[in-house]
Amino acid sequence: MTQTAPSHTLVIEREIPHSPEKIWRALTEGSLIEEWLMKNDFQPVVGHQFSFRSTPVPNWDGIIDGEVLVVEPNSRLSYSWSSMGLKSVVAWTLTPTTGGTHVRMEHSGFRSNTDAAYKGANWGWQKFIGNLEGVVGGLD
Amino acid sequence: MQSATENVFKALSDPTRRAIFEHLTRDGEQTVHALTYRAGVSQPAVSKHLRVLKLSRLVRDRREGRETHYKAQPQALAPLVDWMSLYGTFWRDRFDQLENLLKRMDK
């Protein structure tokens, strides 16, 4: 294996008191995805290319382009997640439990190189610029 | 001694400097003349702003003939932006919305 830039992974896990089947629908049906994530033309078909669209803000066009990578109904779903040229991968894993479903979301591939820092900066630009004057005021 | 982070914050706290840096970030390398034209302030003022940006490593300069070209070095912003935590907030909010949706959905 070649040495690659270290990548970062964000993992969120939750126990949700609903069946995997129901959660699967919320993760894969366009009209339902829109209700909790973003407007989209998503289809749970491997190779399908789609966009998530939210309101643009300065320095971010609000568009995430993706391609469906893995579809195992009621169990595993994965898609690429590309925004402003920065590529990452989102993977969902649903595991039935006695009270519902263990939901695991892994968002990986944030490389800590120049490009990632730059895109990340763009992404977070509004957020930190908004607080900048206040923070700077506290430095003196 | 000031930390690099403080220098970057201070450099970007000035609106004119921030505008210059944003122009360079969006439009790539530019000469002092081009930047002056867009900044709406005098060339000595722009040069002074560029020196501050350069000291905090937000820009790099390159001489070519009589012109100095400036280029944004946005990686200098990296210490300020913990973008994993930004995405963390994003996804936690979306998880909350997902759970709310599931409650509303028919069994």
pLDDT in tens, A78-104: 999 887 666 789 999 999 999 999 999
pLDDT in tens, A39-85: 999 999 999 999 999 887 655 678 899 999 999 999 999 999 887 66
Contacts of B74 in chain A (CB under 8 A): 117-118, 121-122
- Residue B9: its pLDDT value, please? 78
Q: Hey, where are the domains in chain B?
A: 4-78
Which residues on chain A place their C-beta less than 8 Å from a C-beta of chain B? 8, 10, 12, 14, 16, 18, 22-23, 25-26, 32, 35-37, 103, 105, 107, 110, 114, 116-118, 120-124, 127-129, 132-133, 135-136, 139
| A110: phi then psi, degrees, rounded to nearest 5 | -80, 100
Q: Hey, where are the domains in chain A?
A: 8-129
Question: How far is residue A48 from each of residues A28, A62, B29, measured CA to CA in Å?
Answer: 12, 20, 38
Average of per-residue pLDDT values in chain B: 84
ipTM, 2 dp: 0.72
- Residue B107: its pLDDT value, please? 52
- CB spacing of A8 vs B84 below 8 angstroms: yes
User: Which fold would CATH assign to domain B4-78?
Assistant: Arc Repressor Mutant, subunit A (1.10.10)
A8-129: CATH class? alpha beta
- Residue B79: its pLDDT value, please? 60
- Residue B101: its pLDDT value, please? 94
Neighbours of A3 (CB within 10 A): 5
* Residue A115 pLDDT exceeds 80: no
Question: How far is residue A54 from each of residues A27, A83, A123, B52, B60, measured CA to CA in Å?
Answer: 17, 12, 13, 36, 34
- CB spacing of A105 vs B78 below 8 angstroms: no
pLDDT band at B3 (very low <50, low <70, confident <90, very high): low
pLDDT in tens, B5-47: 677 878 888 888 988 988 888 788 999 999 998 888 899 999 9
pLDDT in tens, B61-104: 999 998 999 998 877 776 665 556 667 778 888 999 999 999 99
Nearest CA in chain A to B12: A132
